[in-house]
Structure 1
């Protein structure tokens, strides 16, 4: 009789599924099983597994360097709205893989508690739902995922942080996802001004509030690792619940964040910042303003 599938093994099945629609469907199925305790073991300590350097992807989306991406516009035309939405769909497709990758790549390696797996399973399930909803909306606008070029900057950052969970949390969740929080309100407004309230409502009522919780997961577990290391003043707080409130204004945690971002992220962060959303995610201006471009425009 075969051993029950662990969460990490299920995560690898998602990562090795090339079709993004099927990837989202399978991810939702795995997440539901974990959250309903039908998958009970995060990983088998005696079973080896290999996490792919790059998840399986269909070759239906033309990939170009970030600097060669066509301008998306400001949603004033149907073509611009399609381009913006296509970019968001592509981002969500990578967000699915990023969420399952952090589970498979780091959960066992860093001996993370069960709550870590649950938090990122919820993130993965949300990202799959975002992808499905936004892809369907893109088709409502007369286009489809793969109709336009895209870039893989998010996975470039994942590759750069593949050996360091602290860096992965800082860069993907506290830099890239937080940047999404900064720009989403403007994107929503542009869709409304362009007369597309359906897409604006989807972004405002579903995607935006859930992305705050995704950023919060990154902040929470960054703090947790800092305290668990024992090198942070006020350390030895191994409870993630204690860490949530304790780390926001801890100088050592903030300094570690600055060091990590400077080591793994090229260039300064770009203001303006969505301070309310970032604070809701668990980190205030002391975390990011020292890393910012002075006087930059949005």
Structure 2
């Protein structure tokens, strides 16, 4: 498995979390990327890596993380239909799509840490939240890639699209926008569709994939959406100067009309088109994401007027 020279293990006593995150982003082999991310996450959570960043160091954040070159990339509009998991070919296509999504989720989490943590002077809890997200996404990638091989295929056997990273590029200078689009739009959309995907695998007789999605990936994705919602609210609260930064971190920041309006403005600015219902209201609520945040951004029914 290939690995860039930038990802070689340095002395962990002096390495910061942001420096470690850059090693993940500069690792092209996705299995190595997931493994390295897990090792770094464990070191951070155990206190072996203790500093989030060096205040005086300016590090280069890659415009695009190192990625494998064996995946054929298409425009989202040109992607073939995945089907409904009724055939082996359809099940392979759906799992391949999920593997690709999780591979980008690894990079998105470490990019969040490296790109915004120091720039926005975020508290330690921010780093810990996204370290946990990154660790989860790495495990999801390994589990799903392994399952894809059990289904007789492998990552790279089918085309994919990089819509998630396109959104990351569009929000590379704005943490509020990154949180809103990647976590409160894309991650939340995942919560909307996973139950249907689980049902399709069960109907197709693939209970092993359905169980993986239902018992591991689905509940953890709720926490990932919750991280986005939590830190979006935090930034909105911090911007009002109602409390010093160190006092602004709370387990559950209350919903606020100004924050909701800021969310609406941000999504309309950075996301093309309306959000698509139906929404998984229960899962979104579990993530602290209430309907007043997203329903005003949804597709509206065309009003039918009586003939004159």
TM-score by length of structure 2 reads 0.92
- Measure how far apart 1:243 and its partner are: 6.6
Task: Provide the secondary structure at the position in 2 that maps to 1:191.
Answer: helix
Alignment-derived partner of residue 3 in structure 2? none
Q: Mean Cα displacement is larger for which, 52-61 or 2-11?
A: 2-11
- Measure how far apart 1:242 and its partner are: 3.4
- Measure how far apart 1:183 and its partner are: 0.2
Alignment-derived partner of residue 121 in structure 1? 131
Alignment-derived partner of residue 104 in structure 1? 114
- Judge conservation of contact 2:233–2:253 (CA < 8 Å) in 1: no
Alignment-derived partner of residue 289 in structure 1? 295
Question: Within 2, Cα distance between the matches of 1:227 and 1:183?
Answer: 31
Alignment-derived partner of residue 6 in structure 2? none
Task: Provide the secondary structure at the position in 1 that maps to 2:80.
Answer: coil
Question: Would the alpha carbon gap of residues 220 and 13 (structure 1) be closer, same or farther in structure 2, given more than 3 Å must change?
Answer: same
Alignment-derived partner of residue 39 in structure 1? 49
Question: Within 1, Cα distance between the matches of 2:196 and 2:244?
Answer: 38
Question: Within 2, Cα distance between the matches of 1:65 and 1:11?
Answer: 28
Alignment-derived partner of residue 176 in structure 2? 166
- Judge conservation of contact 1:154–1:172 (CA < 8 Å) in 2: yes
Alignment-derived partner of residue 199 in structure 1? 209
Q: Deviations over 1:53-110 (max 9, x none)?
A: 0000111110000000000000000000000000000000000000000000000000
Partner residue of 2:268 out of 251, 255, 262: 262
Q: Mean Cα displacement is larger for which, 113-122 or 238-247?
A: 238-247
Alignment-derived partner of residue 186 in structure 1? 196
Alignment of 1:23-38 (within 5 A): 23-38=33-48
- Measure how far apart 1:217 and its partner are: 0.2
Q: Deviations over 1:213-254 (max 9, x none)?
A: 0000000000000000017xxx4374455372412xx11110
Alignment-derived partner of residue 72 in structure 1? 82
Moved over 6 A (4+): none
TM-score by length of structure 1 reads 0.95
Question: Within 1, Cα distance between the matches of 2:79 and 2:280?
Answer: 25
Question: Within 1, Cα distance between the matches of 2:278 and 2:57?
Answer: 47
Question: Within 2, Cα distance between the matches of 1:135 and 1:237?
Answer: 44
RMSD: 1.5
- Judge conservation of contact 1:237–1:243 (CA < 8 Å) in 2: no
Alignment-derived partner of residue 25 in structure 2? 15
- Judge conservation of contact 1:227–1:237 (CA < 8 Å) in 2: no
Q: Which blocks of at least 5 consecutive residues in structure 2 are unaligned?
A: 1-9, 303-308
Question: Within 1, Cα distance between the matches of 2:200 and 2:29?
Answer: 30
Q: Which blocks of at least 5 consecutive residues in structure 1 are unaligned?
A: none
Task: Provide the secondary structure at the position in 1 that maps to 2:112.
Answer: helix
Larger Rg: 2
